[in-house]
């Protein structure tokens, strides 16, 4: 569906038997990697056309719209989309890929996979590129492709931590594009266009996202009369309730950060646990709490006695409790 500017704002198509419906609003809210508020309607429209024309499912992360700052948005494809496309071609027989290194003998070597000596203390091999081959079932000659490491390495993100994996991936997707230009032309991966950010791989379920966004927090369940009665019975046994006087219990609840007049079921359960642990202070403990220390006549309450005022040898003194 096109708007007045000629840009489409809704795309409907089918991928592997699944009906896909994309709208500009859905793309902006759920499918933009980076700064969604910076992406323009024109960029979103172009992304819709790309997905529709190439039969890509962005909800399965087969395609990404990446936007940062004022730079043009990048429309890139996941590597799995390349391999899936290749596998659907009846003439596809498989592929091999790996890295190009300068080995310990100083020779240029093509090695399948991504293993090389990169961090050995004494012996190190140098990564210089990647290679890939695509094979066909008919008599068509295999596609062989190589790429230079220096041409794509940014030194950031996965290029810094997994350089061999990254350059091998670049070689493979370019070989597949060369092998199947009708289905893979104009599609590029993050590694090829210099997007260093780790892109999300988890599938997007818009219905689940919307349900979560519209979810309303349920208010806490308030304590029942039965729960409150149990609290009162336990508090009475602990001396916190005297007849109808609940002032002690209320003060205890406040100390424990609870409002006795507005207890949730969970609050009541926690307060019951604390009341069970409560012990009424003894008369002796109450007397200790009520003691007021009077200053000793002639002795400053702020400074210790001087040497002259200290007890002399031989004088009787009270025993130090410590």
Domain residue spans of the chain: 10-78+204-209, 80-182, 225-277
pLDDT of residue 286: 59
Residue 111 to residue 109: CA distance in whole angstroms: 6
Q: Please tell me the predicted confidence (pLDDT) of residue 297.
A: 58
| 294-313 per-residue burial string, b: 16 or more CB within 10 A, e: under 16 | eeeeeeeeeeeeeeeeeeee
pLDDT at 9: 87
Below-50 pLDDT ranges, the chain: 291, 293, 299, 301, 303-311, 314-322
Residue recorded with tokens 């024309």: 53
Residues with Cβ < 8 Å from 101, sequence gap 6 or more? 108, 109, 111, 116, 125, 126, 127, 128
pLDDT at position 200 is 87
What pLDDT, on a 0 to 100 scale, did the predictor assign at position 5?
A: 54
Three-state DSSP class for residue 43: helix
Give pLDDT, residue 311.
47
Tell me if the pTM is above 0.85.
no
Burial profile 83-121: b = 16 or more Cβ within 10 angstroms, e = fewer: ebbbeebeebeebebbbbbeeeeeeeeebeebebeeeee
pLDDT in tens, 10-23: 999 998 889 999 99
What pLDDT does residue 1 have?
A: 53
pLDDT at 287: 63
Burial environment of residue 177 by CB neighbours within 10 A (0 to 12, 13 to 18, 19 or more): buried
pLDDT value of residue 185: 84
Rounded CA gap, 47 and 308, in Å? 92
pLDDT digits (tens, 9 = 90+) for 100-145: 999 999 999 999 999 999 877 778 999 999 999 999 999 899 999 9
């Amino acid at each position: 569906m096109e708007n007045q500017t000629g840009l489409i704002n809704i795309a409907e198509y089918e991928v592997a038997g699944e009906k896909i419906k994309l709208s500009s609003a859905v793309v902006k809210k759920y499918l933009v990697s980076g700064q969604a508020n910076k992406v323009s309607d024109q960029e979103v429209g172009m992304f819709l056309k790309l997905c529709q024309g190439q039969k890509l499912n962005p909800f399965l992360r087969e395609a990404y719209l990446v936007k940062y700052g004022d730079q043009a948005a990048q429309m890139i494809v996941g590597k799995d989309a390349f391999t899936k496309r290749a596998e659907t071609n009846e003439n596809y027989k498989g592929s091999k890929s790996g890295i190009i290194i300068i080995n310990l003998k100083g020779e240029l070597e093509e090695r399948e996979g991504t293993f090389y000596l990169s961090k050995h203390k004494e012996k190190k091999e140098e990564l210089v590129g990647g290679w890939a081959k695509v094979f066909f079932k008919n008599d068509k000659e295999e596609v062989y492709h190589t790429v230079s490491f220096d041409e794509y390495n940014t030194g950031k993100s996965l290029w810094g931590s997994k350089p061999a994996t990254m350059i091998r991936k670049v070689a493979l997707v370019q070989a597949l594009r060369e092998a199947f230009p009708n289905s893979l032309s104009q599609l590029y991966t993050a590694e090829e266009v210099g997007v260093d950010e780790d892109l999300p791989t988890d599938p997007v379920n818009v219905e689940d996202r919307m349900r979560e966004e519209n979810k309303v927090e349920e208010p806490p369940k308030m304590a029942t009369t039965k729960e409150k009665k149990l609290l009162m019975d336990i508090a009475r046994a602990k001396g916190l309730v005297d007849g109808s006087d609940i002032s002690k219990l209320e003060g205890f609840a406040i100390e424990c950060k609870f409002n006795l007049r507005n207890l949730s079921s969970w609050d009541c359960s926690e307060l019951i646990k604390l009341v069970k642990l409560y012990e009424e202070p003894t008369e002796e403990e109450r007397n200790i709490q009520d003691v007021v220390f009077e200053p000793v006549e002639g002795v400053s309450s702020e400074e210790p006695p001087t040497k002259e005022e200290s007890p002399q040898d031989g004088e009787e003194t009270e025993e130090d409790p410590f």
